[in-house]
Structure 1
Amino acid sequence: MSSLPVRGAARPLPGGSRTSRASRFAVVVCFLVALIDGYDTLMLSFVAPLVSREWGMPPGAFGKVFAMSFAGAVVGAVAVGAAADRFGRRRLLLGSIAVAGGFILLSAGASSPEQLMAWRFLSGIGLGGAIPTISALAAEHAHPERRSATVSRMFLGFPIGAVAGGAITAALMQQVGWRGIFVGGGTLALALLPLVFAMSEPGHEPANDPARGSASPSPVRHPLAEVVADGRAVGTAMIATAAFMILLVSYFLLSWTPSVLAMNGMSPQRSALAGVMLNVGGVAGAFAMSFVVARRSPFGPVAICLALGALLVPLFGLHVVDSVVGREMGGELVAFCLVFAIGLLVIGGQMNIPALCVHYYPASVRATGVGLSMSIGRVGSIVGPLVGGMLMSAQLSWSRLFMLAAIPALVAAAALGWVARSRPADRSGG
């Protein structure tokens, strides 16, 4: 008696229109959740000057609010990711969005920096926990041969939400104030609850999952123990190292590239576009890479992109910042082209972190795997701007500064290259 191979999918393969529609609906909802997370991240950056001015906060003091948001996201990614694998992903996603939306709304009524930090920490737990959960849900609703590609495209909601949400916030914050911006963000998050409730949640079939390498049952373990079981400990360490390094260099570039260009003769208005170009390049890179990872393991392609991006970063410092900007005809065009290319390769690689984890881990612990890597990556996103500030204070030459900035990308490429070489026969996660 023959049957279609499910290869880790917990529902029939798309063939029935009802299943196909339900799967597409679930992926779209996951995309919308990522969109809200991206919007919330950049929303805080836009309202920071208004909040600081109202409360008379000294320059730099708002950094504690950013830090608490990131810290909450780290806690949420690990704790909710593991809980989702044990108690149900849709259920935990509902809870995460309710917590995020509720505390974003409470942020609108904050009366002191300390209260705002508390609400942002708690809303960060909700949004941080949503990311590994939607990654696992999108993977389970995808066709087994397009799993990594589906997660990559779903996660494009984050940068799109950041760019679009930033534009909306910039247009409205003078009319509604920073409190109105928080009200809007919380309302949008809570509006997703009925959509998440309407999603179907496929169950697990761990015995058939290709990432286990065997069709035989395995003993029940805690999700955090499962991610390092069956020979995955070194691979997990390599993925975590890569996530930390990728987000470190990504947030270094996003934080300091506009400032460096402005210091070297580019107008403040045009240098601010550099951050936009990095994000636009990242979206384009992640989207283009989704077609590649649809046909093979994502580790090799992402490692190659990071290695190429690492070569462009010092080139930017050597030829653009030191000698091109403001000094040669077409210098700004060259600068923007290099910035776009770096975003394409480095930021685009960063956006594939959830797809890497979805490919690597069994269905039963995908949310835990994504949560662990993303939480460690979030630490890198905090360290990156701080390291950049220290290097800027050391008054290094621009060429040396960007040469040092390329090292984390090379380390990440090497780590993912190791995983790719250690799993040469694996073609299952696409």
Structure 2
Amino acid sequence: MDISVRQQDKKHSTVTVLICFLIAVIEGLDIQAAGIAAAGIREYFGLDSSQLGIFFSAGILGLLPGALLGGRFADRIGRKKVLIWSTAVFAIFTLCTVWVNSFQSLLVVRFLAGAGLGAAMPILITLASEAVSPANRGRAVGLMYCGMPVGAAILSLVASTSFGAEWKNIFYLGGLLPIIVIPIMILFLPESKEYLKAQEKVGTGAAEPQATFKDLFNTQNLARTILIWVSYFFTLMVVYIMLSWLPSLFTELGFTRKEGATAQFYFMVSATIGTVILGMLTDRWKKAYVIILMYGGILAGLFALNMASSLTQMYLASALVGAFVIGCQGVLYAFGSIVYPTEVRGTGVGMASAVGRIGAMLGPTIAGQLLAAGFGAAGVISAAIPCIVISAIFMLILIRRLKA
């Protein structure tokens, strides 16, 4: 009987992480879509660099209320239901992107698509982390989140084909794929066992009062909430600068658009590897060592981008940044699932993700303003360095407090 139960639990864990991986692949497609379609959208709508930065930020801005509400509703009515509905919202408005005919309507549909995707992300993290034992949460979240760079790398390859040359096809692909995944979620995705146990306690009257936003700021959680918010904010700012602007930064440095797309592909392939490895190290190493490694790797990559003088060096620098920037985001999501208890985990991760999305929204806009002001690619990359230093310091403080 015990063996049968363990096998069933393992099956549920595998199915959960796999389906969450598929949704993360779709997120990667969407994040990369904006950067790849940027040239076509700029020409179609007649945008300048500043407006293009606003376009990048519109979808990211939608992630903010989505992450906030998605995590909250997931704690109240269930992880699975909210994930299905948020994926449907994202699919509908991604398809709408190809049908709008003004800059203003483009921003609206990108915002609403971002809201759907933003609601999904904290649920993916929560489901993946709750599907396994606490000792394996870093690995589970890392394996789930490596779907993001996989999706982005796939889209980079699609962009090099005749199909991907038309910017509208990029968004058709991004909208139709989640529609295919939704029935799979309905049929096969199990609800979180930890959530169901918490609901059973509510039904028997044995549960604590339902957690609220205020619980993130009680005596136990206040310091860790502030620390993880700051780290999410500055890390995601740098992540989305790289995701949105890397191909354009290459053209600013004198390389061709095709070479920029190739650099983005190397960025995403190494990001996939880095996310899995860092996720595994989160479970096996001391947490402080993982933080030092990943933020040190990001800084090394940013310095390498600034100092590279040949195409080969730029490709290597892009791969180095990708391995640690995206991997770092996966580790931060894993930390969010470790920091908060079950009853407030969805809310806590959702709020931290929402705060991170503010940084993610501001990053591409600030990069666009720096480029428009003539600071060039080197100025954008240099501006990212202090953000990484601040994030590393706050994460190390958080680890020290968790130990205490």
With normalisation by structure 2, the TM-score equals 0.85
The SS at the match of 1:227 is helix
Please tell me the residue identity of whatever aligns with 2:175.
G
Query: Residue 387 of structure 2 aligns with which residue?
Result: 408
Q: 2:140 aligns with which of 124, 147, 150?
A: 150
Matches within 5 A, 1:2-81: 15-57=5-47, 60-81=50-71
C-alpha deviation, 1:369, in angstroms:
2.0
1:182 and 2:171 correspond = yes
Q: Tell me if structure 1 keeps the 8 A contact 2:49–2:368.
A: no
d(CA) in 2 for partners of 1:311, 1:138: 30
Aligned pairs, number = 395
d(CA) in 2 for partners of 1:13, 1:237: 42
1:15-61 CA distances to partner (integer Å, 9 max, x unpaired)? 53233212211111111111111112222333344344444555653
Tell me: CA distance 1:184–1:384, structure 2 relative to 1, closer, same or farther (3 Å): closer
Tell me: CA distance 1:334–1:156, structure 2 relative to 1, closer, same or farther (3 Å): same
Query: Residue 113 of structure 2 aligns with which residue?
Result: 123
Tell me: CA distance 1:183–1:418, structure 2 relative to 1, closer, same or farther (3 Å): same
Tell me: CA distance 1:66–1:283, structure 2 relative to 1, closer, same or farther (3 Å): same
1:385 and 2:374 correspond = no
Tell me: CA distance 1:392–1:85, structure 2 relative to 1, closer, same or farther (3 Å): same
C-alpha deviation, 1:258, in angstroms:
5.2
C-alpha deviation, 1:114, in angstroms:
2.9
Please tell me the residue identity of whatever aligns with 2:385.
A
1:346 and 2:325 correspond = yes
Q: Tell me if structure 1 keeps the 8 A contact 2:66–2:114.
A: yes
1:289 and 2:275 correspond = no
Tell me: CA distance 1:397–1:147, structure 2 relative to 1, closer, same or farther (3 Å): closer
The SS at the match of 1:33 is helix
Tell me: CA distance 1:400–1:108, structure 2 relative to 1, closer, same or farther (3 Å): closer
Indicate the percent of aligned positions where both proteins have the same amino acid: 26
Q: 2:76 aligns with which of 86, 89, 93?
A: 86
Tell me: CA distance 1:16–1:172, structure 2 relative to 1, closer, same or farther (3 Å): farther
d(CA) in 1 for partners of 2:4, 2:229: 33
More helix by share: 2
The SS at the match of 2:192 is coil
Structure 2 gaps of 5+ residues are 199-205
Query: Residue 302 of structure 1 aligns with which residue?
Result: 291
Which sits farther off after the overlay, 356-365 or 199-208?
199-208
d(CA) in 2 for partners of 1:274, 1:26: 32
1:139 and 2:118 correspond = no
Structure 1 gaps of 5+ residues are 1-11, 209-215, 326-330, 426-430
C-alpha deviation, 1:169, in angstroms:
4.6
d(CA) in 2 for partners of 1:316, 1:59: 21
Which sits farther off after the overlay, 116-125 or 44-53?
44-53
d(CA) in 2 for partners of 1:106, 1:138: 30
The SS at the match of 1:220 is coil
C-alpha deviation, 1:394, in angstroms:
6.1
Please tell me the residue identity of whatever aligns with 1:188.
L
Q: Tell me if structure 2 keeps the 8 A contact 1:97–1:127.
A: yes
Q: 1:364 aligns with which of 343, 350, 371?
A: 343
Instruction: Answer with 1 or 2: which has the greater Rg.
Output: 1
d(CA) in 2 for partners of 1:345, 1:35: 18
